[in-house]
Homo-oligomer: A and B are copies of this chain.
Amino acid sequence: MTPSKTFKQKLAHIIFDYDTVPAKMFDLVLIAAIILSVFVVMLDSVPGIHAVYGEFFYGLEWFFTILFTVEYGMRMYVASNRLRYATSFFGIIDLLSILPTYFSVFFPGTQYLLVIRFFRVLRIFRLLKLVKFVKEGEYVRNAMMASSRKILFFLFFVLVTVSIIGALMYLIEGEEHGFDSIPEGVYWAIVTITTVGYGDILPQTVTGRALAAMLMIVGYSVIAVPTGIVSAEMASMNERIEADLLKNDKCCKTIDHDDDAKFCKKCGKPLG
């Protein structure tokens, strides 16, 4: 059964890798199908559009469900470790995003759970590898990782602040001004410190407004903290990258030089 095994290996390569033309094509088609199916779920939720195209979308829904079922079967078939795939994040999402359509045959209404299919959109990040966006992704991720503990500390501080202010506002404003409970006060404090400011819950006493004004100005100044953390981290990264380029003579090879350039414009070495 060598040919069959070779076919399975080929299929595995096409499905899980993206370094050859057929593998790239498979990923592109899959991502296009995911985006399309998500758009169908989106549009089908609009009452006016559902009334007209409901039947058509119903058909499309089944088409995509069968397509993704086949894809799921193929992934299970070629996976070197089936249990690991089935229990991985994407394995579970892949399964959950096809089940609702089947369930909806027996239990009408469950097709709304198709919303879980939106998580398949995360697979779109694989597209980044296809279009060579991977460097940018890594840059942003590295900076986020390096500063994640500092940002967590900052969020911690924000949470304690909104808890205290939310409780105080419940005492000051009370139910007659829409602060029905402490959790509601905390919700209001989050809406205010993040400068979203819906305006559904509003302080109306003088003390409440003074406290709110303080919270706003704190929020306005404190936003500088995560921004400063990430900015400083990225500046350090840029310096390290540039120093690295200079030290290892990598610059001559990685930088785009003008056609008539005879010397590297970065380090001054003659170009080959």
Q: Which residue of B lies closest to A164 (CB)?
A: B118
Nearest chain B CB to A193's CB is how many angstroms away? 8
Stretch at the interface among A25-33, A80-88, A148-156: A148-156
Q: Which residue of B lies closest to A230 (CB)?
A: B228
A119, A181, A232, most chain B CB atoms within 10 A = A232
Main secondary structure of the interface of A (DSSP, over half): helix
| A139 interface residue per 8 A CB criterion | yes
| A9 interface residue per 8 A CB criterion | no
Contacts of A149 in B (CB 8 A): 133, 136
Contacts of A221 in B (CB 8 A): 151, 154-155, 226
Contacts of A235 in B (CB 8 A): 231-232, 235-236, 238
Stretch at the interface among A41-49, A64-72, A255-263: A41-49
Contacts of A163 in B (CB 8 A): 38, 118, 121
- A195-235: CB near B (< 8 Å → 1, else 0) gives 11111101000100100010011011101111111111111
| A23 interface residue per 8 A CB criterion | no
Nearest chain B CB to A132's CB is how many angstroms away? 10
Number of chain A residues whose Cβ lies closer than 8 Å to a Cβ of chain B: 84
Binding site for B on A (CB under 8 A): 38, 41-43, 45-47, 112, 115, 118-119, 121-122, 124-125, 128, 133, 136-137, 139-140, 143-144, 149-156, 158, 160, 163-164, 167-168, 170-171, 175, 180-183, 186-187, 190-200, 202, 206, 209, 213, 216-217, 219-221, 223-239, 242
Can you list 23 pairs linking A and B with CB atoms under 8 Å apart? A41-B167, A41-B182, A45-B183, A46-B181, A115-B171, A125-B160, A133-B152, A133-B153, A139-B150, A151-B221, A151-B224, A155-B217, A183-B206, A190-B216, A194-B217, A195-B197, A196-B196, A198-B202, A220-B223, A228-B231, A231-B232, A235-B236, A236-B239
